Structures are given as structure tokens and as C-alpha cells.
């Protein structure tokens, strides 16, 4: 009965999928510092080893220096983004009046056109729509800025929490780097540990490929958006282009969350050529991602692009925003574990049998 269960590929695939989901949902948040330490050392250990041979600095100190450097770069980047957001938020709130006037004008022209076409008085409909727009604009001006500024305590708590997480991760990296070689040697001695190590290395290679691909796509899209918006003299084009490139990492939404509202704004101002140009830019950004992502991710890890798309969607449903990354990682984990399972259960026994037959002859 046990052998039949093990050899049933569909049941084992379901069990592997359930185990991966359990790991990502419940274990990974608890073990996150240790997991990041393992990922970091597996990805950069050869480089750290080379640097140690040249400088004679211990690996744990090199690892800490590298983590601090990466943390500083990420922190500076986040600080710049938050500063830009806070700087332009009052301008955005003050500009709500202009948007409100433009929308009311469009509503009036639209209602007049509808009334003329249907042969009826559309002034009541116009008044209702304008009242709703005025109410929304008032809520934005009265509530948006105070609410954002009122979240400072939550931001402070979040920063402290992130700082504690980074501290634990650094400590875990130092402790793991100290005994990394010995741990690998011990794992290589046992078959089960070798299998686990193979899966970990393959998943880490995918994560490295995924991160590098997203950074390259983000950089490409940001550069195209900034250049395009600057050429067409869109106000604050650099900020909008940079923001569009960063948000392009979001599936299904991507740059559209920035560029499409920007195009509508240009349309309301009567800048029809700029509106069309921004829509064209959005299509170009979609095309860039569609061309680069399969080549940079799918082809290198043996996963079809449609599989990555489904994994991202399932990840968002199961894990929220974190599923943007956990979905594809979970798919690769399932694929790699299942691949090793097939190798152990179906390939190796046949190879052993063939070897035994050859020895008997």
C-alpha cells in the first residue's frame, strides 16, 4: 500500500503542493531571518570565499559588511521615494480643485449631449453627478493629507520592526557563515541531505534569476517612461516615470496604475496629443515586459511564462501582496521537489537494476 502511494504521481504532486503551501504560509514567516541568511550565503558564498582568500578577512565579517551595504542602498532608495511622495502630496491635494473643475465641465458637456440626443432635460442628472464629484473632492482635500500625515506613529513602529528583523537576519548570517563549510560537508555525507541541498540550490538560482530579471525590467521601463514623459514635457515627468517603472512589478496592473490616470488627466486638460502619447507609452511598457520577462525568467528555469502568470495570480490570492514573489517561488519549489521525487522513485531504481544486470553478466 505504501509503495503504491509513493508511486502515484498525482497523489504525490498534491502532497508536495500542500507541503510547499504549508511551508510558505506558516513556516517561512517564522524562519524568515534564517531563510534569508541561507539564501544570501548560497548566492554569494563563492564571492565571499574569493574575497577572503585575497584579504584574509573572515567570511562572517564580509557577510555583515555586504548586508549593511545592501541595507543602506535599499534604505536610501526608500527614503528618497517617501520624501518625493510627501513633497508632492500637498501639490496633488491643491490640484484637486483644478481636476474638479475639469470633470464638472466634462460632465456638463456630456449631459448636454445626452439630453440633446434623447430630447430630454438632463440638468437633474448633471446636478447629481456634479454633487458627487464635489463631495469626493472635498473628502480628498479634508481627509487624505491629514490621514497620511497622521500615520507617522505607524510608520515609526514599522521602521522599528524592520530594524529588528534586519538585526536578527544579520546575526543569523554571521552564525551561519561561521560554520557554512562544515554544514555543507555534513549534508553531503547523507543522501537525504544531498537531495535537500539540491532542491535549495535550484530554488535559490531561480530567486536570483527572478530578482535580477525584475530589476532589469524595472530599470528599462523606468528609463523609457522618464525619457518619454520628458520629451513630451509632462509636468513632473521624472517622478511619474520613476514611479511607473517601480510599480511595473505589480502583475496585471503594472505601469497602468500611473500612466492611465495621467493620460486621463491630460485629456481633461485638453492636451489630446499628450494623452494619446501616454497611452502609447503604456502599450510600449506592456510590450517591454512581455518580451523581456519570458526570456529572463521562464526560459532559464524551465517554467512556461503562463505558469509564472498563474503562479503570481494564485500567490496574490493565497498570500496577498507577498504572493507576487511567493507564488513563482512556490511553483519552482513544487517543480524541483517533484523532479527530485521522480528521479528517486522512477529513474534511480531502473538505473540500479540495469547496473546489477550488467554486473551479473
Radius of gyration of the chain from its Cα atoms, rounded to whole angstroms? 27
Model-level pTM greater than 0.75?
no
Q: DSSP for 105-156, please give it.
A: HHHHHHHHHHHHHHTS--HHHHHHHHHHHHHHHHHIIIIIHHHHHTTHHHHH
Express each pLDDT in 180-233 by its tens digit. Answer: 878 877 777 777 777 777 777 777 777 777 777 888 888 899 999 999 998 988
Contacts of 206 (CB under 8 A, 6+ apart): 301, 328, 329, 332
Domain ranges within the chain, ordered by starting residue: 32-179
Mean pLDDT, residues 20-30: 91
Mean pLDDT, residues 64-93: 70
Q: Please, what is the average pLDDT of the chain?
A: 75
Percent of the chain with pLDDT over 70: 68
Model pLDDT, residue 114: 63
Model pLDDT, residue 360: 37
Phi, psi for residue 176 in degrees, rounded to 5 = -70, -40
Mean pLDDT, residues 161-188: 80
Model pLDDT, residue 129: 63
- C-alpha cell belonging to residue 142: 479634508
Which stretches within the chain are classed as H helix?
2-7, 9-22, 32-55, 59-94, 96-118, 123-139, 145-149, 152-178, 180-189, 191-231, 237-247, 256-268, 272-293, 299-301, 305-319, 323-342, 348-360
Express each pLDDT in 129-157 by its tens digit. Answer: 667 656 665 655 555 555 555 555 565 56
Model pLDDT, residue 2: 54
Answer yes or no: is pLDDT of 66 > 90. no
Model pLDDT, residue 18: 93
- C-alpha cell belonging to residue 56: 584574509
308 touches 331 (CB < 8 A): yes
Amino acid at each position: 500500500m505504501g509503495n503504491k502511494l509513493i508511486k502515484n504521481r498525482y497523489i504525490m504532486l498534491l502532497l508536495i503542493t500542500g507541503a510547499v503551501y504549508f511551508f510558505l504560509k506558516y513556516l517561512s514567516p517564522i524562519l524568515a531571518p534564517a531563510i534569508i541568511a541561507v539564501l544570501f550565503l548560497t548566492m554569494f558564498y563563492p564571492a565571499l570565499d574569493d574575497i577572503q582568500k585575497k584579504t584574509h578577512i573572515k567570511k562572517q565579517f564580509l557577510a555583515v559588511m555586504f548586508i549593511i551595504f545592501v541595507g543602506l542602498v535599499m534604505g536610501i532608495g526608500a527614503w528618497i521615494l517617501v520624501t518625493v511622495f510627501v513633497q508632492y502630496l500637498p501639490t496633488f491635494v491643491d490640484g484637486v480643485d483644478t481636476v474638479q473643475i475639469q470633470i464638472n465641465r466634462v460632465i456638463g458637456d456630456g449631459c448636454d449631449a445626452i439630453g440633446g440626443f434623447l430630447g430630454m432635460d438632463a440638468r437633474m442628472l448633471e446636478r447629481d453627478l456634479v454633487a458627487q464629484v464635489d463631495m469626493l473632492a472635498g473628502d480628498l482635500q479634508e481627509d487624505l493629507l491629514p490621514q497620511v500625515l497622521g500615520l507617522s506613529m505607524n510608520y515609526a513602529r514599522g521602521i522599528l520592526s524592520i530594524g529588528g528583523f534586519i538585526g536578527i537576519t544579520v546575526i543569523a548570517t554571521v552564525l551561519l557563515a561561521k560554520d557554512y563549510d562544515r554544514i555543507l560537508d555534513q549534508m553531503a555525507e547523507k543522501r537525504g541531505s544531498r537531495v535537500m541541498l539540491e532542491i535549495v540550490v535550484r530554488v535559490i538560482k531561480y530567486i536570483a534569476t527572478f530578482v535580477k530579471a525584475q530589476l532589469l525590467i524595472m530599470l528599462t521601463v523606468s528609463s523609457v517612461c522618464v525619457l518619454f514623459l520628458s520629451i513630451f514635457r509632462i509636468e513632473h515627468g521624472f517622478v511619474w516615470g520613476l514611479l511607473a517603472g517601480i510599480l511595473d512589478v505589480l502583475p496585471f496592473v503594472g505601469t497602468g496604475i500611473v500612466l492611465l490616470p495621467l493620460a486621463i488627466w491630460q485629456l481633461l486638460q485638453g492636451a489630446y496629443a499628450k494623452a494619446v502619447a501616454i497611452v502609447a507609452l503604456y502599450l510600449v511598457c506592456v510590450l517591454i515586459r512581455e518580451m523581456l520577462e519570458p526570456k529572463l525568467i521562464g526560459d532559464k528555469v524551465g517554467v512556461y511564462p503562463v505558469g509564472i502568470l498563474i503562479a503570481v495570480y494564485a500567490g496574490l490570492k493565497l498570500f496577498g501582496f507577498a504572493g507576487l514573489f511567493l507564488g513563482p517561488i512556490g511553483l519552482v519549489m513544487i517543480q524541483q521537489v517533484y523532479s527530485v521525487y521522480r528521479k528517486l522513485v522512477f529513474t534511480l531504481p531502473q538505473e540500479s537494476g540495469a547496473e546489477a544486470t550488467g554486473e551479473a553478466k
